[in-house]
């Protein structure tokens, strides 16, 4: 049959293709080798990815959609021969070891095989062989026969061998067996596995995970030992795969050449892997390099736009009660008039405004609409043939700055839009794209003008996309509401962007949106309130099991609550909680009726009523808990109040002297304490504080006010003077307690750089605040901060903060240096200060500006200026020229470290005063300037240029004086305005390379070498 013939031809290609892919998986690099070897392994993996991409594009596993060009006998034969050559090349053990720079992996050897580029394609193709074998059985073709259909046609490879086994060729089998035997205690023999699908199964191949981490194969692996020879292997494979791609190039209606791989790279999480892939591809495939660059630059930009709480507010909003808000997508009834939201979603433009009283349920409705499938269906009708992108941002006035600012809103929207439309990134944010192209990793955030242009570009791309933004809580903007309103209105300048927004009816938005389609929420929620109350009360055991209330009584209570609520859902929730308490107290119908009547109708009065009715024995605990949460929101630091540290502090009765130990409790133990806290919040605070249940683990849950209006109420003048909120403990300090809680959080998170970064930054902010307000509490806090960063182990034997003696903990002392707490280390013996550095083999000056302890927490940029600390350490006897060891082990000096750090990361652009001050302090202390003339001239010119843009006249003059002093030390005429800055850009790379080679050369010296004292500034600088 003709069909059978076609399938047989496809099967022949599949067989040799599977062999090639399997053999690709046998190569890797030893973990003990340099990164260059891993880069070479990545280059080979890229060739594997290109081959997999070709197979997917040709659909070789699909007999119905398989590319018909493969049916051409000439094309099919050449492709088969080329694949067969790749197979023979990768399986020839003799040639691989003799010519191509690999060796056999040892049993105990840890290997690294970078399979990130090919992992997505492997995941999709691994399931195809089962279906393929079924089709082979149908057409009656033996599996091994399908692999040798073209063998008789010859080939252009020189070697002719029988069907291979995995691993080295037979001549090396005996040596390999001997090596395995020597390395195996159990004298286990090597098991030779066939590459046939029948015995091995392509679907059983280990698949690299999405993060690109190496995997361990229970098979032979080749280890790269000679970089130059292995490169020739990669080139040969690359040439052959390129030949295959040229034979059957992508057709116009098919995938573009690298679309498949680009999609897979976009799914990679690791920026390090993307960089590796980009560098690896440069040597063999310039077209793919541009793809990898595009993906990498986009990922860097998205990483910069993202912030930890970007969607936190939306996740924390409770889902709508069952069957409530369904009316919002139906046409308006004649009873209450509002603008048809469904019609606007289907065909409307610009802005639709949802407004209502505080607590009326606006955020719940916005989340309901954002998640509703019918909304997406209606929006797709509006988008037509354009790609629909829906993004959301829920503002939160009592959250972090990013959660409540125009900048945070813009970043959130751009992040979601560009995540779904990554190819738009260079058009939407061209300046960030240019920074990424220059290799800058810490990209600058877009300015206000750049944000404005970004959304204008989105609005102009009317033929390529349709964008709908859900923005909740416009009234929660911090700052000027008018600026926020103008920004919102600017977003709808184009016809392909429209907004669904919500807010309280404050004057700014009433004036702006009075002519826009809208609905007033409290007028429309009466049926929803009745449904919610009835469902909640009728489902309680007091009604269903004990049958203490009639259906009529429950209905009457529901109607009374609905009538008194005036459309405010928050009031309804609190009223229902009061009734539930009555159920649990076995109140009768009359007593329950009295509870409803006793509730004040206004929210603020209701909050006062709740606090005033707290049991006297719970008042102190309630006041402390409320004050902790209130203070956290006032400070607006990055971290949230996590449930477990609050439970820990609450268990200690908020006594700072009891906070001296951090214990690594299990997740289940943490959850048990949090469960207890959840119950105590209900009884002590009557629901005003609650645990947000969006995280499956109780220990990771967040404690917060039940609603923004509670925080606003506590901020009302006179509220904290209420008797029920007075705290008797005169040592109680919410800021200090929050700092210790955040330190405990930092201790609990294993990955400081990702999970703990926000906590560390917050601790740094607390330290700065406590340094000014309560310095006597700083030592104990620093002790806990250092412990949380270093995680030295069990804290069972740690002393309490009151027992910390005058010598101060070693790590706490170093942390104080890194945080530039000059006043905290003053008064200590100066010789002892230098002794700390000698003990470590590190200069204390390096701790002042390299900050190794806090470097893993991403908080260096948040630390205070190091100028004062450097000045103090130098006055204490530290020498900028003393020989020390860098963190890589090479020998250097603090002065060299400072200059190299500045040259490497471009410091000083935003902190020029500090940069100039530290540099000049070390020069005045005798720092060796010989050999650094070019760098220092560049710095001097940069300071001079920057001084002209400073507003402060004294700072301008100071920078000019410093610049003049540096040039005088270098023997350069102060009036010489040669373009050092311009020349430096061309020479800096070479200069840095020279510095690195010099240090590497020094690092090879014997350990016993004595160091010569550094020369002084009087050395001849004519060779600079």
Q: Averaged over 777-802, what is the pLDDT?
A: 71
Pairing of strands 387-394, 350-355: unpaired
Q: How many CB atoms lie within 10 A of CB 656?
A: 22
- Please provide the DSSP assignment of 718-786 as one string: TGGGSGGG----TT--HHHHHHHHHHHHHHH-S-TTTTTHHHHHHHHHHHHHHHHH-GGGHHHHHHHHH
pLDDT at 171 over 80: no
Q: Per residue in 103-122, pLDDT tens? A: 988 877 776 666 777 777 77
Q: Which residues pair with 355 in a beta bridge?
A: 503, 520
Q: Per residue in 522-532, pLDDT tens? A: 999 999 999 99
The confidence score (pLDDT) of residue 190 equals 28
What is Dmax (Cα atoms) for the chain? Answer: 101
User: pLDDT tier at 866 (50, 70, 90 boundaries)?
Assistant: confident
The answer to whether residues 917 and 951 touch, using CB atoms and an 8 Å cutoff, is no
Q: How far apart are CA 540 and CA 965, in angstroms?
A: 81
Q: How far apart are CA 602 and CA 357, in angstroms?
A: 11
Q: How far apart are CA 846 and CA 836, in angstroms?
A: 12
Residues 835 and 910 in one domain: no
Is residue 96 a part of any domain in this protein? yes
pLDDT at 132 over 80: no
Q: Last residue of a domain, which of 559, 589, 619?
A: 589
pLDDT at 1016 over 70: no
The confidence score (pLDDT) of residue 34 equals 67
Q: How far apart are CA 119 and CA 848, in angstroms?
A: 43
Is residue 136 a part of any domain in this protein? yes
pLDDT at 856 over 90: no
The confidence score (pLDDT) of residue 113 equals 63
Residues 741 and 853 in one domain: no
Is residue 35 a part of any domain in this protein? yes
Residues 704 and 717 in one domain: yes
Residues 426 and 545 in one domain: no
Q: Averaged over 267-273, what is the pLDDT?
A: 76
Q: Last residue of a domain, which of 279, 304, 324?
A: 279
pLDDT at 148 over 80: no
Q: Across all residues in the chain, what is the average pLDDT?
A: 79
The answer to whether residues 469 and 491 touch, using CB atoms and an 8 Å cutoff, is yes
Residues 151 and 44 in one domain: yes
Q: Averaged over 397-403, what is the pLDDT?
A: 89
Q: Averaged over 429-452, what is the pLDDT?
A: 90
Which of 205-219, 332-346, 987-1001 ranks highest by mean pLDDT? Answer: 332-346
pLDDT at 643 over 70: yes
Q: How far apart are the first and last CA of the chain?
A: 82
Residues 822 and 874 in one domain: yes
pLDDT at 94 over 70: yes
User: 541-545: which pairs have CB atoms within 8 A and are 24 or more residues apart?
Assistant: 542/583, 542/584, 542/586, 543/583
Decide: residue 189, CB within 10 A, 0-12 exposed, 13-18 middle, 19+ buried: exposed
Residues 733 and 584 in one domain: no
The answer to whether residues 759 and 654 touch, using CB atoms and an 8 Å cutoff, is no
Handedness of CA 394, 398, 401, 406 (dihedral sign): positive
The confidence score (pLDDT) of residue 121 equals 72
Q: How far apart are CA 52 and CA 120, in angstroms?
A: 10
Is residue 815 a part of any domain in this protein? yes
The confidence score (pLDDT) of residue 840 equals 61
Is residue 632 a part of any domain in this protein? yes
pLDDT at 234 over 60: yes
Comparing 169-173, 278-282, 413-417, the range with the smallest average pLDDT is 169-173
Residues 607 and 694 in one domain: yes
Is residue 538 a part of any domain in this protein? yes
Residues 585 and 605 in one domain: no
Two structure tokens written together for 748: 């609990």
**CA-based nearest residue to 671, from 698, 642, 643:** 698
Q: How far apart are CA 144 and CA 520, in angstroms?
A: 73
Identify the domain containing residue 635 by its residue range.
600-791
Q: How far apart are CA 975 and CA 754, in angstroms?
A: 49
Is residue 823 a part of any domain in this protein? yes
Q: How far apart are CA 726 and CA 622, in angstroms?
A: 10
Residues 6+ apart with CB under 8 A from 547: none
The confidence score (pLDDT) of residue 835 equals 63
pLDDT at 71 over 80: yes
Q: Which helix (H) or strand (E) holds 27?
A: strand 27-30
The confidence score (pLDDT) of residue 897 equals 85
Share of the chain residues as helix, strand and coil, in percent rounded to the nearest 5: 60, 5, 35
pTM: 0.75
Question: Which tops the pLDDT comparison, 823 or 558?
Answer: 558
**CA-based nearest residue to 599, from 622, 579, 585:** 579
Instruction: Order the strands of the 102-104 sheet from edge to edge.
Output: 102-104, 222-224, 27-30, 111-112
Q: Which residues pair with 354 in a beta bridge?
A: 502, 519
Pairing of strands 465-472, 689-692: unpaired
Q: Per residue in 501-540, pLDDT tens? A: 999 999 999 999 999 999 999 999 999 999 999 999 999 9
pLDDT at 174 over 50: no
The confidence score (pLDDT) of residue 968 equals 86
The number of distinct structural domains making up the chain is 6
Residues 633 and 550 in one domain: no
Q: Last residue of a domain, which of 539, 563, 589?
A: 589
3-state secondary structure 147-185: HCCCHHHCCCCCCCCCCCECCCCHHHHHHHHHHHHHHCC
Residues 6+ apart with CB under 8 A from 469: 390, 391, 392, 393, 413, 491, 497, 498, 499, 500
Q: How far apart are CA 461 and CA 467, in angstroms?
A: 10
User: pLDDT tier at 701 (50, 70, 90 boundaries)?
Assistant: confident
The confidence score (pLDDT) of residue 943 equals 80
**CA-based nearest residue to 556, from 591, 530, 586:** 530
Handedness of CA 470, 474, 479, 481 (dihedral sign): positive
**CA-based nearest residue to 766, from 804, 740, 730:** 740
Q: How far apart are CA 508 and CA 588, in angstroms?
A: 48
Is residue 594 a part of any domain in this protein? no
The confidence score (pLDDT) of residue 134 equals 46
Residues 577 and 512 in one domain: no
Residues 909 and 1024 in one domain: yes
pLDDT at 191 over 60: no
The confidence score (pLDDT) of residue 280 equals 78
**CA-based nearest residue to 761, from 859, 853, 866, 850:** 859
């Amino acid at each position: 049959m003709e069909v059978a013939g076609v399938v047989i031809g496809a099967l022949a290609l599949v067989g040799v293709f599977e062999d090639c892919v399997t053999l690709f998986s046998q190569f890797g690099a030893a973990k003990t080798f340099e990164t260059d070897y891993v880069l070479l392994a990545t280059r080979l993996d890229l060739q594997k990815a290109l081959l997999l991409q070709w197979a997917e594009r040709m659909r070789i596993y699909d007999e119905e959609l398989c590319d018909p060009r493969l049916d051409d006998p000439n094309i099919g034969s050449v492709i088969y021969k080329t694949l067969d050559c790749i197979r023979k090349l990768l399986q020839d053990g003799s040639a691989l070891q003799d010519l191509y720079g690999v060796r056999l992996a040892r049993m105990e050897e840890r290997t690294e095989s970078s399979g990130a580029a090919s992992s997505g394609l492997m995941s999709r193709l691994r399931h195809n062989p089962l279906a393929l074998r079924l089709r082979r059985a149908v057409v009656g073709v033996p599996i091994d026969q399908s692999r040798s259909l073209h063998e008789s046609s010859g080939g252009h490879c020189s070697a002719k061998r029988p069907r291979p086994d995995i691993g080295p060729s037979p001549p090396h089998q005996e040596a390999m067996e001997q090596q395995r035997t020597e390395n195996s205690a159990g004298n286990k023999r090597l098991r030779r596995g066939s590459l046939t699908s029948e015995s091995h199964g392509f679907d059983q191949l280990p698949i690299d995970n999405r993060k690109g981490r190496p995997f361990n194969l229970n098979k032979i692996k080749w280890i790269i030992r000679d970089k130059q020879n292995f490169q020739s292997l990669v080139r040969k494979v690359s040439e052959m795969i390129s030949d295959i791609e040229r034979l059957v190039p992508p057709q116009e209606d098919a995938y573009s050449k690298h679309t498949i791989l680009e999609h897979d790279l976009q799914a990679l999480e690791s920026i390090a892997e993307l960089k590796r892939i980009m560098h690896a591809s440069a040597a063999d495939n310039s077209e793919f390099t541009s793809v990898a660059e595009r993906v990498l630059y986009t990922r860097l930009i998205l990483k910069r736009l993202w912030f930890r709480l970007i969607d936190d507010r939306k996740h924390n909003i409770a889902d709508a009660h069952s069957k409530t808000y369904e009316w919002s997508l139906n046409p308006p009834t004649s009873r209450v008039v509002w603008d048809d939201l469904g019609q606007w979603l289907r065909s409307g433009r610009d802005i639709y405004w949802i407004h209502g009283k505080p607590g009326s349920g606006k955020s719940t409705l916005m989340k309901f609409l954002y998640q509703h499938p019918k909304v997406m269906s209606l929006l797709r009708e509006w988008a037509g043939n354009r790609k629909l992108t829906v993004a959301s941002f829920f503002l939160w006035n009592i959250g972090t700055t990013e959660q409540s600012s125009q900048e945070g809103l813009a970043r959130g929207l751009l992040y979601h839009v560009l995540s779904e439309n990554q190819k738009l990134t260079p058009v939407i944010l061209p300046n960030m794209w240019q920074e990424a192209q220059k290799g800058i990793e810490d990209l600058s955030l877009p300015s206000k003008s750049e944000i404005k242009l970004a959304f204008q570009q989105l609005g102009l791309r009317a033929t390529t996309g349709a964008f709908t933004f859900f923005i909740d809580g416009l009234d929660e903007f911090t700052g000027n509401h008018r600026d926020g309103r103008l920004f919102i209105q600017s977003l709808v300048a184009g016809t392909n962007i429209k907004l669904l927004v919500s807010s309280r009816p404050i004057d700014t938005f009433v004036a702006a949106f009075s002519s826009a389609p809208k609905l007033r929420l409290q007028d429309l929620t009466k049926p929803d309130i009745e449904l919610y109350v009835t469902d909640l009360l009728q489902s309680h055991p007091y009604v269903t099991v004990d049958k203490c209330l009639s259906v009529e009584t429950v209905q009457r209570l529901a109607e009374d609550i609905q009538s008194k609520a005036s459309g405010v859902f928050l009031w309804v929730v609190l009223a229902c909680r009061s009734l539930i308490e009555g159920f649990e107290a076995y109140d009768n119908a009359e007593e329950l009726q009295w509870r409803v009547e006793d509730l004040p109708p206004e929210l603020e009065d209701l909050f006062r009523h709740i606090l005033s009715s707290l049991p006297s024995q719970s008042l102190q605990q309630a006041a402390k808990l409320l004050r902790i949460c209130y203070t956290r929101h006032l400070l607006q630091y990055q971290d949230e109040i996590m449930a477990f540290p609050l439970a820990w502090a609450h268990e200690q009765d908020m006594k700072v002297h009891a906070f001296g130990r951090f214990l690594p409790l299990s997740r289940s133990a943490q959850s048990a304490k949090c469960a207890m806290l959840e119950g105590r919040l209900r009884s002590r605070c009557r629901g005003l504080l609650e645990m947000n249940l969006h995280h499956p683990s109780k220990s990771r849950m967040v404690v917060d006010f039940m609603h923004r209006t509670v925080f606003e109420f506590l901020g009302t003048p006179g509220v904290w003077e209420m008797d029920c909120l007075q705290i008797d403990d005169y040592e109680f300090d919410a800021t200090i307690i929050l700092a210790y809680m955040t330190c405990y959080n930092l201790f609990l998170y294993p990955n400081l750089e990702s999970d703990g970064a926000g906590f560390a930054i917050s601790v740094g902010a607390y330290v700065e605040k406590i340094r000014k307000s309560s310095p006597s509490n700083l030592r104990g806090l620093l002790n806990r901060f250092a412990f949380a960063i270093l995680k030295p182990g069990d804290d069972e034997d740690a002393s309490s903060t009151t027992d910390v003696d005058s010598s101060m903990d070693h790590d706490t002392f170093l942390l104080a240096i890194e945080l530039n707490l000059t006043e905290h280390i003053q008064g200590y013996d100066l010789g002892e200060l230098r002794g700390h550095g000698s003990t470590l083999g590190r200069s204390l000056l390096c701790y002042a500006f390299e900050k190794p302890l806090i470097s893993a927490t991403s908080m260096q940029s948040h630390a205070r200026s190091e100028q004062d600390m450097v000045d103090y350490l130098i006055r204490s006897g530290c020498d900028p020229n003393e020989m020390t060891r860098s963190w890589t082990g090479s020998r250097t000096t603090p002065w060299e470290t400072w200059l190299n750090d500045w040259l490497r990361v471009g410091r000083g652009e935003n902190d020029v005063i500090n940069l100039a001050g530290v540099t000049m302090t070390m020069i005045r202390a005798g720092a060796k300037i010989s050999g650094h003339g070019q760098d220092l001239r560049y710095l001097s010119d940069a300071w001079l240029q920057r001084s002209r843009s400073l507003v402060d006249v004294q700072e301008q003059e100071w920078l000019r004086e410093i610049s003049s002093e540096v040039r005088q030390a270098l023997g350069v005429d102060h009036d010489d305005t040669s373009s050092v800055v311009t020349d430096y850009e061309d020479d800096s790379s070479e200069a840095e390379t020279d510095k690195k080679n010099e240090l590497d050369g020094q690092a090879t010296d014997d350990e016993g070498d004595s160091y010569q004292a550094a020369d002084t500034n009087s050395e001849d600088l004519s060779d600079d």
